[in-house]
Amino acid sequence: MQWYLCLAMALIVTSVSLGRLGAWLSARNRHVSLPVAAPVQAGDPDIRIQGVRFVEQTDAAMALTFSAEAAAWYDAAQFAVVNHVRAQFFPRRAAPLSVEADYGRIASPTGDLNLHGHVRLQHQTGYTLTTEALSWQASNRTLHTEAPVSMHNATVHITGMGLQGEVEQQRFLLKRDVRASFQLQ
């Protein structure tokens, strides 16, 4: 089952619990508000959840882990907004990639993920990529951004505008205005 479908199912199950909690708090004139800091123009969320963790497995191997400090589900628009996002991708034939960001938006029908704010992608070999926005397209397992990008390890620092990345092949292309500097040892 795809990770975004499991997240949606978890949100639905949690909504029943939150509905009961809401009824209990309303009966006692109390108010609870869980923070979700990402900017959204879809009105109030249908569900708010604290502490989200998800693991996707395929063929007895881990494909993805995902966690967020808080999530808000917008049922009519079919997306979730998540805060303090951390994910780890496990490609079939390559080293894992880790990513973290201030917040993100997950499209329920597709599983696409848009990350924003201090986005940091780390490769197990020591490369780190930073940008302010990064999008994951689940259907073809690619990453992309039009924002400024910085990539570095202990000896190389590369900057550019825009990025296209193929996660399974561990191939990343900076699109334009590329500059590189090297530390010779």
* pLDDT tens digits, one per residue of 52-109: 888 877 776 667 788 899 999 888 888 889 999 998 877 777 778 889 999 999 888 8
Q: What is the pTM of this model?
A: 0.71
The Cβ-side half-sphere exposure at 85, using a 13 Å CA radius, reads 32
- The pLDDT assigned to 5 comes to 41
Tokens of 62: 């881990």
β-partners of residue 171 are 166
Residue 148 banded pLDDT, cuts 50, 70, 90: very high
pLDDT for residue 149 is more than 50? yes
What distance in Å separates the CA atoms of residue 12 and residue 8, rounded to the nearest whole number? 6
- What integer is the mean pLDDT of 17-44? 42
- The pLDDT assigned to 118 comes to 96
Write the burial class of residue 142 (CB in 10 Å: 0-12 exposed, 13-18 middle, 19+ buried).
Answer: middle
- The pLDDT assigned to 42 comes to 59
- The pLDDT assigned to 33 comes to 36
- Angle among Cα 151, 122, 119 to the nearest 5 degrees reads 75
CB 131 within 8 A of CB 143: no
pLDDT for residue 4 is more than 60? no
- The pLDDT assigned to 165 comes to 87
Write the burial class of residue 127 (CB in 10 Å: 0-12 exposed, 13-18 middle, 19+ buried).
Answer: middle
Tokens of 143: 């990453």
The reply to whether CATH 2.60.450.10 applies to domain 3-182 is yes
Q: Could you tell me which of 101, 31, 29 has the C-alpha nearest to residue 66? A: 101
